[in-house]
Amino acid sequence: MTDIVAQMPAVEVRGLSHTFGRGASGTEVMRNVSLSVRKGSFVSIVGPSGCGKSTLLNFVLGLDLPTAGTVLHEGKPVTATQGKMGLVPQDDRLMPWSTAFDNVALPLKIRNWEPARIRSAVRDVLHKVRLDGFESHYPHQLSGGMRKRLAIARTLVYESEVLLMDEPFGNIDAQTRMDLQRELLDLWELSRPTVIFITHDLTEAIALSDEIVVMSRRPSYCVARIEVPIERPRDPSRIQLADGFKECYAEVWSAMQRGMVTA
Ligand SMILES: Nc1ncnc2c1ncn2[C@@H]1O[C@H](COP(=O)(O)OP(=O)(O)OP(=O)(O)O)[C@@H](O)[C@H]1O
Ligand SMILES: [Mg+2]
């Protein structure tokens, strides 16, 4: 299955460099970052805080333009938000004044879907993330894990081909986090979107990904690209016992150390 869908690059980042601001007060965030993500694959990006991971996702989405370099989606330059990519942002950015249903329905209303189609798509996706029965709840009436699932539902609902997830499970207790990881893997197996997932948790990256990209400290570059040699299906709660886990962890860790040395 992996081999059939994972041939073509879904996303290609070519020679991205970026500096915020100008002159002496400018912040050079990344220098010549290139990355190719196969269609249907699950790729995690790890790297020190402030190295430009969220900034990179903004470029991939077309929300912002880099100082130099290009991003291609299915071979075409990404110039503006084109609806085929969905972001689960670092903070979940749910609308506190809207119900779970309305939070998920919003991207569909923006896309001018018919009300009946919206109702059915929202119910379907809320079921997928195990939030049936919570349609009329407001975000503050949901637990942290449920809010994360709602944020994922809001991105899944418009059938994104590429899911960009920016530390979606940060600030979540270990047990809930593992449940969410398992659910995410189940959802990913259903329709096999291409996923670019940012995390600071190396065990999480190994549990979820086909490949891990390690970025250096700022100005960042790709230090290494490491294949995760662990078979699927995987159980995130037992991933540390899997064959190959220790070696993979050590390889990622060592790349992170190399990336901490200033270029
Ligand atoms: N709009 C902006 N204007 C100026 N500087 C910015 C802007 N956005 C980000 N930066 C700077 O760019 C650098 C990278 O920020 P970014 O948020 O991409 O890092 P990150 O790798 O996602 O960090 P974290 O792991 O903490 O989320 C930081 O030094 C940040 O201060
Ligand atoms: Mg970030």
Mean pLDDT, each 10-residue run in order, the chain (263 residues): 61 96 92 96 97 95 92 86 79 92 93 94 94 96 94 88 92 90 92 95 98 97 97 96 97 97 69
**Which DSSP category does 217 fall into?**
S
Amino acid identity of 106?
Answer: L
As given in the structure block, the two tokens for residue 202 are 């190396």
Which ligand has an atom closest to residue 218 CA? 1
> What SS3 class is residue 11?
strand
- The finding on whether 50 has its CB within 6 A of some atom of ligand 1 is yes
- Measure the CA–CA gap between 140 and 52, rounded to whole angstroms: 30
256: how many CB neighbours lie within 10 A of its CB?
19
- The finding on whether 27 has its CB within 6 A of some atom of ligand 1 is yes
- Helix (H) or strand (E) segment spanning residue 258: helix 245-260
- The finding on whether 10 has its CB within 6 A of some atom of ligand 1 is no
As given in the structure block, the two tokens for residue 123 are 């119910």
- The finding on whether 20 has its CB within 6 A of some atom of ligand 1 is yes
Q: Are 6 and 40 in contact (CB under 8 A)?
A: yes
Which ligand has an atom closest to residue 51 CA? 1
Q: Are 82 and 244 in contact (CB under 8 A)?
A: no
Q: Are 83 and 111 in contact (CB under 8 A)?
A: yes
Atom number in ligand 1 closest to CA 47? 21
Query: What CATH number belongs to 1-82+194-263?
Result: 3.40.50.300
Reported pTM: 0.93
Q: Pick from 148, 142, 219, 141: which is nearest to 178 by CA?
A: 148
- The finding on whether 54 has its CB within 6 A of some atom of ligand 1 is yes
Q: Are 64 and 58 in contact (CB under 8 A)?
A: yes
Q: Are 213 and 222 in contact (CB under 8 A)?
A: yes
Q: Are 245 and 239 in contact (CB under 8 A)?
A: yes
- Measure the CA–CA gap between 157 and 35, rounded to whole angstroms: 27
> What length does the chain have?
263
pLDDT of residue 1: 44
Instruction: Write the pLDDT tens digit of every residue in 180-210.
Output: 999 999 999 988 999 999 999 999 999 999 9
Cα 4 to ligand 2 centroid, rounded to whole Å? 32
Q: Pick from 211, 198, 215: which is nearest to 256 by CA?
A: 215
Atom number in ligand 1 closest to CA 167? 27
pLDDT of residue 78: 87
Residue with CA nearest ligand 1 atom 30: 50
pLDDT of residue 212: 98
Cα 55 to ligand 1 centroid, rounded to whole Å? 6
Residue with CA nearest ligand 1 atom 1: 20
- Measure the CA–CA gap between 53 and 99, rounded to whole angstroms: 30
Cis before 233? omega within 30: yes
> What SS3 class is residue 146?
helix
As given in the structure block, the two tokens for residue 153 are 């539902």
- The finding on whether 51 has its CB within 6 A of some atom of ligand 1 is yes
Instruction: Write the pLDDT tens digit of every residue in 229-253.
Output: 999 999 999 999 999 999 999 999 9
Residue with CA nearest ligand 1 atom 10: 20
> Where do the H-state alpha helices sit in 99-244?
100-110, 115-128, 144-156, 174-191, 202-208
- The finding on whether 18 has its CB within 6 A of some atom of ligand 1 is no
